[in-house]
Amino acid sequence: MGTLIAFAGLNSGEVDIHPEIWLPNLDNLVKKYVDGAGTVAISPIGVPAW
């Protein structure tokens, strides 16, 4: 499942968990679903990529 589809599923309730979100690459999805719609929550615990 791609990240765009996962976020749409999280938004609609069809998906419960998505294991990773690459930031800042996907900031637009965070703004839309986390900050805007409020239907997706992001864990405060992150893992650095490098």
Tell me the domain boundaries of the chain.
3-36
The pLDDT score that the predictor gives to residue 37 is 97
Rounded to the nearest 5 degrees, what angle is found at the Cα of 24, between the Cα atoms of 18 and 28? 75
Q: What is the pTM of this model?
A: 0.84
CA-nearest of 39, 46, 5, 40 to 22 is: 46
Look at residue 12 and tell me whether its pLDDT is greater than 90. Answer: yes
As a whole-number percent, the residues of the chain with pLDDT over 90 amount to 80
As a whole-number percent, the residues of the chain with pLDDT over 70 amount to 100
47: pLDDT confidence band, cut at 50, 70 and 90?
Answer: confident
| CB-based contact 40:32 (threshold 8 Å) | no
The pLDDT score that the predictor gives to residue 46 is 87
